[in-house]
Amino acid sequence: MDQHSVITNPVLRGFHPDPSFIRVNDDYYIVTSTFEWYPGVPVYHSKDLRNWQHLTNIVTRNTQFQGNPDSCSVWAPALSYYNGVFYLVYTDVKRSKYPFKDAHNYLITAPTIEGPWSEPIFLNSGNFDPSLFHDDDGRKWLLNVHWDYRIEGRNKSAGIAMQEYSPVQEKLIGPIYKIFDGTDLRKTEAPHIYKHHDDYYLMTAEGGTGKTHAVTVARSKKITGPYEVDPLNPMLTSAHNEKLYLQKAGHASLVETQTGEWYIAHLCSRPINGYSILGRETALQRVFWTDDGWLRLECGGNEPEVEVKAPDLPLHPFPNENNEYDDFDDEQLHPVWNTLRAAPDYSWCSLTERKGYLRIKGGESLHSLFDQHLIARRQQDFRCEVKTALEFEPECFLQMAGLVLYYNTDNYLYLYLSHDEKKKKCLQIMRCVRGEFEHLDMCIPIEGTLCHLRAVIDDEKVQFSYACDHEEWTKVAGEYSILHHSDEGNGFTGNFVGICVQDMQGTKKYADFDYFSYQAKSNGGK
């Protein structure tokens, strides 16, 4: 196929799970989950479904997520639009420890996709994956997973529940309807309702968000059910073909183009040796309605394709976002950067205290759920080179600054400058692998002021190097595995690369970073 007529998957690379996909006139928007990373809920915009651009972020308040555990906070945001108003419902998960879900669902609205967004309206608690359906008569219905901790086994999903939302009273009203029990695939979640002709279609994720993930479709003449399951269910899955480039296909949402073509956005991953280091990503598939009223992949079968026929829309590329290099010359952080559980507070993260440098003052350890002074960006390529340079004069071993590869508080790899009582300023490595901390037996004395650090990632391996002032790069002995920086058994995010500073004495010792570079190499991976 001609490259201009093809959508190449994934359209959102790196950590971009749980896509919610809508069209407003000639504009297409996708939002995704962000969990503990700030800012929450990025919005990606397209005119042609081939080219996508990060436009804005929706959940940007700074008081909601500090203290939330790894892979909690913002789950499965669902975007919708009705009568000139954008709606977003999302879950703030405070704790997800078996068998309970301490989770709260909220609604915010805005006149435009770029805001301003309203204060959150509380909806309900104890469940997750909300979505809002606007019926033809103007009534609004909130759907969410029906979570029942009493069910035997690890899976506590008891299907999908629904309740009416009153925009006048700004709360849920009326009875709660149990509209769907799920199928034998189980783990029913991520509900969306669509109306096509005279039928209501319920699209859900099933099978869990791992290898057996799938999309289930059911339909009903009444919004409250009963819902009949597609006889060829699941509509989409990667579960039975380990050779597929796109694995974990599921968690989908549906859009019709202005030209009458249909597409779903869905979650997927591209594992390396069985591990999803880049996290769960977003792909598009072209679909159609059969004569008997079921949704099918245009390519046939139910497996996701890498190359998909694009819609009959004019090509609309966007200017280069220049996400590869940050010289820290601006007065605000580049949109590519993310922080943990809170916005970057310029009392610890300043671009103005020393012009041309990012000054980060030391915070708590990499295990902290409250005050980590770290900025990072998604790893989006199997092979990439990451570089930075910093000036840092630590005075004790509790002060450190450097280059970090970070999945969560239990999984990271950190090349950093610190202070040793005998060797003074030195370069060291620490790592945490599935909760097991290790301080590696390496302490390289560092001379000079400016220290360059480099990480070259090649699929599941990383090679560190350093250079002092204007000297040549020197490799740090050995390659290190980052297979543990993955979703498998660890969480729901993906690997990030970034910079950070700790001062566990509490004196806020700072480091000045001169630049940060992220350069993709050849593809690698599968």
Q: Could you list the active site residues?
A: 18, 189
C-alpha 369/C-alpha 429 separation (Å) is 21
C-alpha 431/C-alpha 449 separation (Å) is 25
DSSP 152-181: SSS--EEEEEEEEEETTTTEEEEEEEEEE-
The DSSP output letter for 83 is T
C-alpha 259/C-alpha 420 separation (Å) is 66
Burial of residue 214, with CB atoms counted within 10 A of its CB: 0-12 exposed, 13-18 middle, 19 or more buried: buried
Burial 314-344 (b: 16+ CB within 10 A, else e): eeeeeeeeeeeebebeeeebbebbbbbbbeb
C-alpha 341/C-alpha 361 separation (Å) is 17
CA angle 510, 514, 516 (to 5 degrees): 110
Are 307 and 4 in contact by the 8 Å Cβ rule? The answer is no
Rama region for 113: left / alpha / beta (φ>0; ψ in -120 to 50; rest): alpha
Are 48 and 76 in contact by the 8 Å Cβ rule? The answer is no
